[in-house]
Chain A
């Protein structure tokens, strides 16, 4: 295979990771909303954990985006 083509294919494949991250981030916010609607008075106290969970989940999508960028522009 042409190395250039392999690079673009690799960058595309790396973006699958971003899709799976979307599931993770959606789960974080979905579970938070489920809990918050059941017990609204406790929701405000968990906002920090929400943001933390979001950032931890989102980081992996950013990592795969980074891999895609590295393949496209650096290597």
Chain B
């Protein structure tokens, strides 16, 4: 019986060439960096290329860009209100980056950068600190009313304020872990189901070819699910960003 290939192996980062050496740490251009650059280039090509003509009657690509813009704009208006529109560049960038990264990661033999917690944690911390800094800058100490909901008796506040502070601090953790774990678990499951097919063929020869069809069909169905998850998690990441930014815009509800 052939041993299953380690499904975690696909998340290993390989260095392409070293860039700089800071205090004994080698900073190299890795495949993670390459796929991040790829995501940015793809996004830029889509948005800039599609809107280069600026036609009144949009071309096909321009209507894709317009649809994406309208989608994100509606999402912000419905969660953070009209004031939230100043965060449109941030939310739009985060959404498109995560979306393209998820979708590119689904291409076989490519690398999924959102399965690296350092990437998702960086994005989540960016949102977290944007909320804190913008909230304090905009509202000063009134920002801390976020932790004390109005209309709650003082006795209950003693209980609620620590809970609110805890849940606020746990946000970047759950925000980043949700995306990372979804993509990681999806890719591991795909790899496991794929290795079942390989084990069938390796273990049983010609009969195994027929036996391999069942896991293969399952892998195809799972791939469709992963496509849904990739879209859904990008959407969820963006809408949670909007909800958190709403707290910095309107604290103390």
A residues bordering B, Cβ < 8 Å?
A: 48, 51-52, 54-56, 58-59, 62-63, 65-66, 69, 73-74
Contact = CB atoms under 8 A, between A and B. Distances in A.
Nearest to B6: A73
Nearest to A61: B185
A52 B240 CA distance: 8
B122 interface: no
Contact of A55 (B6, B8, B75, B178): B178
B78 interface: yes
A48 B182 CA distance: 19
Given A55-B178, A55-B232, A69 B6 contact: no
Given A48-B78, A51-B232, A52-B239, A59 B181 contact: yes
B235 interface: yes
Nearest to A74: B8
29 contacts: A48-B75, A48-B78, A48-B239, A51-B235, A51-B236, A52-B239, A52-B240, A54-B232, A55-B178, A55-B233, A55-B236, A56-B236, A59-B174, A59-B178, A59-B181, A59-B182, A62-B181, A62-B182, A62-B185, A63-B177, A65-B185, A66-B181, A66-B185, A69-B7, A69-B8, A69-B188, A73-B6, A73-B8, A74-B8
B184 interface: yes
What range describes how many residues of B lie at the interface? Answer: 10 to 19
A73 B236 contact: no
Interface in B226-242: 232-233, 235-236, 239-240
Interface string B209-253: 000000000000000000000001101100110000000000000
Given A52-B239, A56-B236, A58-B182, 9 more contacts: A48-B75, A48-B239, A51-B232, A52-B236, A59-B182, A62-B178, A62-B185, A66-B185, A69-B8
